[in-house]
Amino acid sequence: MTELRILSPTAILGYGFPLASFHAGLDRDPHVIAVDAGSTDPGPYYLGSGKSFTQRSAVKRDLRYMIEAALTRKIPLIIGTAGGSGAKPHVDWNLAIVEEILKELKLTAQVGVIYSDIDRDFLIDELRNGRVKPLGPVDELTEEDILASTNLVAQMGLEPIMQALEDGAEIILAGRAYDPTVFAALPVMKGFDMALALHMGKILECAAIAATPGSGSDCLMGTLSRDSFVLEALNPERECTRISVAAHTLYEKSDPYTLPGPGGVLDLRETTFEQLPGGKVRVAGTKFIPTEGYFLKLEGASLIGYRTISISGVRDPIMINQIDEIIARVKDRVADNFQELRDYQLHVHCYGKNGVMGQLEPHPEPAHELGLVIEAVAPTQEIADTICSFARSTMLHYGYQGRKATAGNLAFPYSPSDVSAGAVYKFSVYHLLKVDDPKSLFPVKMGRSGL
C-alpha cells in the first residue's frame, strides 16, 4: 500500500455535514472513516455529569450515514471520545445509538468498545508511588481530588485502537482518546510514518475548520503517503491553503514547534506546507520524538455546587458610569442580609465593559448599554436561587447617586427572570500518569451488534 485515504466527515460527531461533501469523500474511496466525538472545550460539566454536549438526534443523523457507508464499503468506522467526554456513561450512550441504527438498517457489525475510565483506588496507589504529576500550572493531585471526581478518565493513545482493529472491529467506539489517534491508528498499523499520521490526524480531527472559509460542519479528506500527506476540502466552496493548514497545526497549542501527546511529541521544526492545485496542501517533514516514559493525560471533574443566573440589561448612562461601585454595594448588601450563609459565590458578569476578558480587558470603557449576568453558586439549588434572587432584586431597585427614575434599573429579556441552571462542576484532575503498557488501562470489548 503506497497511500492511505481517510475521510473526516465533521469536526465533532453531531455537528453535521453536507451530504454532497460526504459523498465526494466516499467517491475518493477512503480506507477508513474516522471522527472525533468530544472535547473538554465545553468545560467540566459534561464530564462530571456524564451527559453529552451534542444532541442525540444530531449524533444519530451523522452516525447513520457513516455506519451505512463504512459497512457497505467494508472499511472501519472509528469514533474517539465517544459521547462527548469519553467516560462510561458517554460511551454507553453512544453505543446505544449505534445499536439502534444497526437494527434500523438491518445490519450487523463487529463493534469494539474501549472504555477509558480509571479506577480510583488504582490511581491513588499510582499517586502514592510517585507516578502522577501535574499537567501545566495546576496543583499537585491529592487523594481527595481523586475520590471527589464523579467521572475519571485517561486519554488513550494509538495502541488500544490499533488492538481493536487487529481484533477485527468494524466499528470502534473509544472512550477518551487523544484526538489524532482515531485517524492515525490504521495508518500506523499499516506501517506508515507515525509522525505524519499523527500530524495529519491533528488536522483532520477538526475536519473543514482547517480549510478556508473554515467550518466545523463539513468534511475533509486526508491522503497519507510514505513521505507526506495531502489535505483536501470536499466542498467546492472551500479550499485548503498553506495558511489555513499551518494555522490549524497550531490550533489549541502553546508551542509552535512541539505538539505533545501520549508517548512523545511531534517536532514541527522541519515541517513544510506546499500549496497544490485544486485547493490542496501537501505537508512533509514532521518528526516524532518519543518521550522518556509513556504518559497518559488524566481528566476528572467533581461537583462543587449549584448555579442560578439572571440576565438583564442596563442603558442608563448614569448607572453605567457607576456600575462597578453599584455591583460592589449590591454584593455587600447580599452578604449583610445573609450573614449565616458563607459558603456561596456571587458574580456579576458585565458584558459591554469587561464581561469577556475581565481584568485583562485592554479597553475597559463601558458601552452605551451593558448586559449583566448575575450568577450565584451555592451548596444547594435553593441557596443559589435565594442569593441570585436577592442580588437581582437589590440591583433592580438600587438607589444610586443621580438616579432619576425609580421604576427599576434593569431590563429583563425573560420571565421568569431567574434560571436555576443546576449542578456546577470543576476540573479536579488534570494530570499526567506514567504507565508501562499503553494498552493496560484500555481493554477492548468485542461484540456483534445489530438485528
Cell of 242: 498553506
| 282 contacts 228 by C-beta, under 8 angstroms | yes
Give residue limits of the domains in the chain: 4-299+429-450, 316-410
Q: What are the start-end ranges of the E strands in 143-293?
A: 149-154, 171-174, 220-224, 229-233, 258-261, 264-267, 272-276, 280-284, 287-290
Q: What is the pLDDT of residue 254?
A: 82
Q: What is the pLDDT of residue 250?
A: 87
Q: What is the pLDDT of residue 360?
A: 87
| 261 contacts 199 by C-beta, under 8 angstroms | no
- CA nearest neighbour of 208 among 254, 245, 183: 245
Angle at 98 between CA 94 and CA 99, to 5 degrees: 115
Q: For 375-408, what is each residue's pLDDT tens digit?
A: 999 999 999 999 999 999 999 999 999 999 888 9
- Quote the distance between the C-alpha of residue 114 and its chain's center: 19
Cell of 185: 491508528
Q: What is the pLDDT of residue 451?
A: 63
81 CB-near residues (< 8 Å, 6+ apart): 36, 37, 38, 39, 90, 174, 175, 176, 177, 179
Q: For 247-278, what is each residue's pLDDT tens digit?
A: 999 887 788 899 999 999 999 999 999 999 99
| 216 contacts 207 by C-beta, under 8 angstroms | yes
Q: Which stretches of the chain drop beneath a pLDDT of 70?
A: 451
100 CB-near residues (< 8 Å, 6+ apart): 60
User: Phi, psi at residue 143, to the nearest 5°?
Assistant: -65, -35
Q: What is the pLDDT of residue 266?
A: 96
Cell of 132: 502522577
What pTM, to 2 d.p., does this model score? 0.94
